[in-house]
Structure 1
Amino acid sequence: MASITDPNMSDRFTSAMEEIHNENLKTYADIIDTTVELSQSHRQFVKSAIDTCLKKCKDDDKLFETIHAFKRDLEQKNRSLKEKRCTISEMMSEVQEKEMQKEDIIQKINKLKEEQTKRKELIQAQNKANKNRLKNLQKARFVFQDHLGLEIRTILGKTQLVKGEKLQFVFRNINLSDLDSAYIITMGIKEDGSYQIVSSDPELDCLPVLESRLQETNNLPAFLANVRKEFISLARR
């Protein structure tokens, strides 16, 4: 009771309350200062984070643009490479085709050379055979012309059947009643070098047989002798 009635109690209470109030104000001020500092720090942090994010976004955009540019360049290079491969494939096909044509031409040239060689050998053989036939003709001429009155003529045929140079053998002294009467046989040489009988005047039925025998034996004097015998037999009928 004494304390309540103490006249200084009110001043002390007021002073204590003011002191508490001042301390609270100071605490609030410190809290406000701390809050402001934290707010400013947070604001700076957020601003820095935003700037960092914006920079990162710009860097990412540049990176994506670079990636897209690389992709476009890679696609263009792939198309160009594909076109070049197609061109190379076509060129290789052309080269292979030309190589095949070259081989074919070489084979044809070799074949032509072989044919030319064979043709040359055949011509040489035919020339040799013709020379032998000419010798036989000369022998036959001496035998028949000198002893049996045989005349040998060279004629040029005007028809397709007897086209080219032919030899005509004219036999006389066949018909005893007319020794000058002519019995004629016309013959030549085929492309293969064999003898060819063109005609006979008068006609001999056995002429094909005599011609076949001539081609087998290649003995012209014997052939002419047989033809003469046939003419004599025909004249005596």
Structure 2
Amino acid sequence: MTSITDPNMSDRFTSAMGECQNKQLKTYGEIIDGMTELCQSHRQLLTSSLDLCSKKSKDDEMLFETIHTFKKDLDQRNASIKEKRHNISEVMSEIQQKEMQKDEIIQKIEKLKEEQAERKELIKSQNKANKDRLKNLGKARLVFQEHLGLEIRTILGKTQLVKGEKLQFVFRNINPSDLDSAYVVTMGIKADGSYQIVSSDPALECLPVLESRLQETNNLPAFLANIRKEFIARARC
């Protein structure tokens, strides 16, 4: 062991302490440099993080604005769809009403066609009945004109009772004391084709009964014969 009294001991100790100090200083320098680099790295990381956060915040703001715009547009679209649905509902309701009106019109047209067909048949039937009656009138005219001195006139009535064309049957050879004396019955045909007795001159109380019988039998010659009999009975009273 070297004695502490060694004159070189102090130098060696000083040298060792210097080396140790230098090592520590170097180590401290390395630590400081590392901490400096770490601080710079941390500062850069913070700066980068702040920039990223700022960018993220701006992106989020833009995203929120876009979402708000989309929501507003969606609300407008929903309102527009609701209004269009309401309009469609009204149009459909109007179409249904028009369809119902169309069906009613078609039914009315069909009913009118049926009524028109019925009227045509009725007119056809009435025309046939009128032709038959005209034939009967013609036959009666020939019989009574040739054998009984009957005169048939066509008259145009001037009163509401006999409004329209009527036939006037003028009987003669009724009163033996005055063979030219005229006994008259005025008649026509109703809208339904039935005979209508308007009046007689002189008046006969049994005229409604004879008219009713004529309506039942449609036998005009027999009716005129009965009228003549009544006039003859009236003339003999």
Superposed pair shares fold, TM > 0.5: yes
Are residue 35 (structure 1) and residue 35 (structure 2) matched? yes
Shift of 1:85: 2.3
Matches within 5 A, 1:93-132: 93-132=93-132
After TM superposition, the structure 1 = structure 2 runs for residues 71-90 of structure 1, keeping only pairs within 5 Å, are 71-90=71-90
Distance 1:78 1:216 in 2: 80
Separation of aligned partners in 1, 2:7 and 2:130: 179
Aligned partner of 2:236 in structure 1 is: 236
Structure-2 residue corresponding to 1:189? 189
Compute the RMSD of aligned alpha carbons. 2.1
The one-letter amino acid of 1:168's match is Q
Question: Which residue pairs with 1:133 in the alignment?
Answer: 133
1:103 Cα deviation (Å)? 2.0
Distance 1:19 1:113 in 2: 134
TM-score by length of 1: 0.90
Distance 2:21 2:79 in 1: 84
Segment drifting more, 226-235 vs 191-200 = 226-235
In the other structure, the counterpart of 1:23 is: 23
Deviation at 1:200?
Answer: 0.9
Superposed, 1:55-70 pairs within 5 Å as 55-70=55-70
Give 1:221's aligned amino acid. P
Cα shift at 1:6: 5.9
Which region of structure 1 is more displaced relative to structure 2, 147-156 or 14-23? Answer: 14-23
* Whole-angstrom CA distance in 2 between matches of 1:59 and 1:92: 47
> For each residue in 1:83-141, what CA deviation from the matched residue of structure 2 results, as whole angstroms up to 9, or x when unmatched?
32223222222322222222222222222221111111111111111111111111111
Which residue identity does 2:88 align to in structure 1? Answer: I
CA distance in 2, matches of 1:142, 1:34: 155
Q: 1:208 matched to which residue of 2? A: 208
Deviates more, 1:131-140 or 1:52-61: 52-61
Cα shift at 1:174 = 1.4
Identical amino acids, percent of aligned pairs: 77
Alpha-carbon distance in 2 for matches of 1:189, 1:151: 19
CA displacement 1:143-177 (0-9 Å, x = unmatched): 11111111111111111111000011111111222
Structure-2 separation of matches of 1:160 and 1:22: 155
Give the CA deviation at 1:4: 6.7
Q: Distance in 2 between matches of 1:160 and 1:10?
A: 171
Q: In 2, distance between residues paired with 1:201 and 1:100?
A: 61
1:153-192 aligned within 5 A: 153-192=153-192
Q: Which moved more, 1:62-71 or 1:28-37?
A: 62-71
Query: What TM-score does the superposition give when structure 2 sets the normalisation length?
Result: 0.90
Q: Which moved more, 1:74-83 or 1:187-196?
A: 74-83
Q: Secondary structure at the residue paired with 1:197?
A: strand
Q: Deviations over 1:28-76 (max 9, x none)?
A: 2222112111111111111111122222222222222332232233223
Question: Could you list the runs of 5+ residues in structure 2 that have no partner in the other structure?
Answer: none
